[in-house]
Chain A
Amino acid sequence: MTTEASSRETTEGRVYSVTGGDWDSLVTEIGQTKEERVVINMGPQHPSTHGVLRLILELEGETVTEARAGIGYLHTGIEKNTEYRTWTQGVTFVTRMDYLAPLFNEAAYCLGVEKLLGITNDVPERASVIRVMMMELNRISSHMVALGTGALELGALSPMIFAFREREKVLDLFEMISGLRMNMAYIRPGGVAQDIPLGAVTKIRETVKELRHNFKDNEKLLVGNSIWMKRTQGIGYLDLAGCITLGVTGPVLRSAGMPWDLRKTEPYCGYENYDFDVITTDTCDVYGRFLIRMQELEQSLRIIEQACDKLGNLAGAPVMVADKKIAWPAQLSVGGDGMGNSLNHIREIMGESMEALIHHFKLVTEGFSVPAGQVYATVESPRGETGVHLVSDGGTHPYRVHFREPSFNNLQSTAAMSEGGMIADIIGAVASIDPVMGGVDR
């Protein structure tokens, strides 16, 4: 049984509300009008828009003549909130922006705070190596979601199953190391929250081996698959000039043949000491971006292996700056429900040293003050340049925190990628940008 699509007359023309199941009557009704031009509202609740993204499409037949993105549905005011917390607490907020790449948000923020404090060179090497290792693991888990959901949205269901299987393995590592699978607030100003646990390196090496083997499953499913190539080749075209004027970075820029990767051009956390390649294609299309993400997985695995080697040489080294006015008073430990203070530390401050208790109390409740000034710090996140603009007025809270989110910036290119194309190809174009709405709306 088909139901009637409800409609009403407005000054803009007739507006139909479609709820599913009423397609037949809608098609009949639209067929009776003389108007060729149809404006369609897609999202914000739509399975193929990659999150709460709203697309407003003007169509002529199946051709998109205009595409506009409506955002803001996930705005949470994180930037404003950080102004009312200490610099350290800020980590817990910013990690929730781009929720598929939490460690990159934390790293960019912490690099900024360290630059403001002038302690960039004091961060221990072991902390930097752990940061690099965690970020590259995170790049894998993020790319797995990009590939899996991207394929899912274009109608290929199996790649998603494999991609999420691999992502789970990475999240298990995150849980083992930080106590949390997502939004872990693991990277802190001055270092990391805690050292990696015993046996972690062995477990990481095993996982790397598994991942390298299992990545082949998705490659077999998609690389060279004729249906997949027909849906992605020549789709979502954006050339180098378009990328530059739109400020697009990350895999989309690299798919236009530009080998731009901040890990190479402006190394941070010691990336200059790792051996890896910047992957590019010159196809400027969805297929090229897909291939780049596929191959970046292998590069991340290479970096992780090198990080594991370095960690072996740095056993027992500190993971936090030596300055007691900045470093958290206790090494945290993984408890049953996430992170907590180590029991030894609790024993010391509650039973032995009143000064230690005072110091702990002041640093945790009040935080450290950061000299006045402003900085811009960047990292290469899975989606491009994550930039953080931090302003301090010399107090214990940020005066202004602003994230230049690659998802937010890159999503602007939806119109350039999809206007003049078919409506079905918008899905591929948006998926190839890989916007994470938590990052877009912050």
Chain B
Amino acid sequence: MSDSTQKGSFGVSGTGDTSGFGGLVRTAIDSGSTERPYGGYFDSVADDLERAYPEFSDAIERVVVDRGELTLHVKRERLVDVARILRDTESLRFEVCLGVNGVHYPDQAGRELHAVYPLLSMTHNRRIRLEVSIPDSDPHLPSLVELWAGNNWHERETFDMFGIIFDGHPGLTRILMPDDWPGHPQRKDYPLGGIAIEYKGATVPAPSERRSYK
């Protein structure tokens, strides 16, 4: 799972391909920037943000439109600025942040940890997504609790599960795992765990060890 580019599937390697999936190649999730026009309301969101935020081209690394959803890849230093403008500008007005979610890409050197913020504008009935990528060696992000109080628990969960440290959070402690738990379970280098089951002489390996699940 953790390899960004993996050939074959179903545990087949080195031998003749019996699965028929030997030609399958999985590639890293790294689509480039989408060209204008984005379609729908995405163009007007991008225009309004550019107008309200002169440093747009410096702050936004990429704009991706995929499957009818707009993702703005924001630099970490600019995250709070961009978020505040998205919330406060009347023509944008993303007044609800639906939390934050981490994703771990161990093979994207220098940007292993991603934080994803789905935003909702109830005023205009629009949705967009902010994405920030940071290096594993420096897992710090500015907290958005000042802007959206409801992000409090979501940031604690992302810290708990991925080890992303949200600077400025009022009380960044573990929330789902016990306080003294070592490690961050949702990272790809953290094993699923589980034990092999033995029954009548046969052994069923733990889920993460099963051939079909690799």
Contact = CB atoms under 8 A, between A and B. Distances in A.
Contacts of B9: 366, 369, 395-396
B150 A409 contact: yes
Interface in B23-70: 24, 26-29, 31, 66-69
Interface of B: 1, 4, 6, 9-10, 19-21, 24, 26-29, 31, 66-69, 71, 95-99, 101, 103-104, 116, 118, 122, 125, 127, 129, 148-154, 157, 174-178, 185-186, 192, 207-208, 212-213
A375 B69 contact: yes
A81 B207 contact: yes
Given A80-B185, A369-B24, A395-B9, A247 B150 contact: yes
Interface stretch (A23-31, A176-184, A398-406): A398-406
B120 to A, nearest CB: 8
Given A77-B185, A266-B125, A397-B213, A387 B118 contact: yes
Given A389-B118, A408-B153, A373 B66 contact: yes
Contacts of A396: 9
Nearest to A266: B125
Interface of A: 71-72, 75, 77, 79-81, 83-85, 115-116, 118, 244-248, 258, 260, 265-266, 362, 365-366, 369, 372-376, 385, 387, 389, 391-397, 399-400, 402, 404, 408-409, 411-412, 441-442
Nearest to A116: B67
B149 A246 contact: yes
A389 to B, nearest CB: 5
Nearest to A411: B153
A399 B103 contact: yes
A84 B213 contact: yes
Contacts of A118: 67
A372 B27 contact: yes
A366 B10 contact: yes
B1 A402 contact: no
Contacts of B153: 408-409, 411-412
Contacts of B208: 84
Contacts of A376: 69, 118, 127, 129
Most buried by B among A116, A385, A393: A393
A442 B149 CA distance: 22
B212 A395 contact: no
Contacts of B28: 393
Contacts of A411: 153
Contacts of B101: 389, 400, 402, 404
A373 B176 contact: no
Contacts of B69: 374-376
Contacts of A365: 10, 212
Nearest to B192: A84
B69 to A, nearest CB: 6
A394 B27 contact: yes
B98 A244 contact: no
Given A400-B103, A409-B99, A79 B207 contact: no
B29 A399 contact: yes
Contact of A71 (B6, B103, B148, B175): B175
Nearest to A244: B95
Contact of B29 (A248, A391, A397, A412): A391
A71 B150 contact: no
A374 B174 CA distance: 26
A156 B29 CA distance: 54
Nearest to B187: A80
